[in-house]
Amino acid sequence: MPNAGKLHLRILWNGMDVLGIEVKSTRPPAYHLLSGKSPEDAVKLVPLLFSVCGKAQQAAALATVSAAQGRDMQQLEKFERAVLCEAMQEYLWKLLLDWPKLLGLPQLETQFIRWHAALNVISTDKGNAEDLLAEMHQVLLGMTAKEWQQLDTHDRLLECIKDKQGLLAPIILALEFSESRLDFSGVPTGCSLMSTWTPTEVSRKFACHFGTEFAQKPQLNGNPLETGALAKTQHLPFVRDILRKRPARLLARLIARLIDLLQDVQARRRIEQITVANGIGLSMVQTARGMLLHHVRIESGRIAQYLIVAPTEWNFHPQGALTYLIGFREGNMTRLVETAKLFVMSLDPCVDFEIEVVHA
């Protein structure tokens, strides 16, 4: 497996204000290894190249190659189920292990292991997804699915979280507290949230841009975008109210992931494909981190070009979501780094990251 690389966040700081943010990824474009392969070999190789979201990558590869060959994806239902369960496992990993660790709270390993195993069973079309979701509502939030779905404001969310005291209450309240105390020297600006696109729309918007530069630093009309659960749920009144009250998006991203995690299984569609032209295919897969895009061109029975645009490349674009930190006021370097870690974790990179503070 190729080196996964790392995400480097460099913060330019004058001792009080953040003056600039530099984001650099050393993740290699592993998809270059697919050039010259047969379509069948490429599909087999893709999941071996990625240690994270391997099932989503495999499904995207199969969908895009099938589209390039003018065929519908075979066993779509099976792959939809596998991708969904993988995304739920990724959400649970962050909620029960990574977020508690970052916030100095006890990690919930036993609960994670049990639910992770249950999702493995469900991914094989066994087990009971509805029962598992009902249990997650009660354990994570201390409420029923109906009570959760009736929440419609930021204030009501906090009221219920404090009252019900589910497993996630300390995490939600800690993020709420941290975000409420953020101070900026000016009015911060963040990149736009990605719209919900069809494969046809993606092909039309980006067809002339598909290349290595775009795959590494994707943007639309010169502007970076944020993908993920928040982008997908931004239209919900509940999410809109949280964004109004907490525009830094720390709490909103967490709640959006909870909404996606706890959504009715039958309501989810994660894999889409389109034949762009003869020998050219495009697929979109919704992962826990956002839109995963595969694009392939097949010539003479071989891969002439293969591109993968992962959610991390959207969310950690050098001019992307983390530039919101510019203007953040903090005179203590330790607290500055702790806050930066909250922002990085809320965007959930699929590689390790490191933070460097440089005095400017």
| Binding-site annotation: residue ranges for Ni(2+) | 350
DSSP state of 323: G
Give the angle subtended at the CA of 25 by the CAs of 203 and 318, to the nearest 5°: 70
Q: Which two tokens stand for residue 169?
A: 């209450």
In contact, 161 and 255? CB cutoff 8 Å: no
285: helix, strand or coil: strand
Give the annotated binding-site residues for Mg(2+).
Answer: 308
In contact, 58 and 46? CB cutoff 8 Å: yes
Contacts of 307 (CB under 8 A, 6+ apart): 31, 210, 211, 212, 214, 215, 293, 294, 295, 296
Query: Of 25, 22, 31, which Cα lies nearest the Cα of 2?
Result: 31
Give the annotated binding-site residues.
Answer: 308, 350
5: helix, strand or coil: coil
- Cα 93 from Cα 230, distance rounded (Å): 18
In contact, 315 and 321? CB cutoff 8 Å: yes
What one-character-per-residue DSSP string does 187-223 give? ----PEEPP---HHHHHHHHGGG-SHHHHHS--BTTB
Contacts of 203 (CB under 8 A, 6+ apart): 274, 276, 282
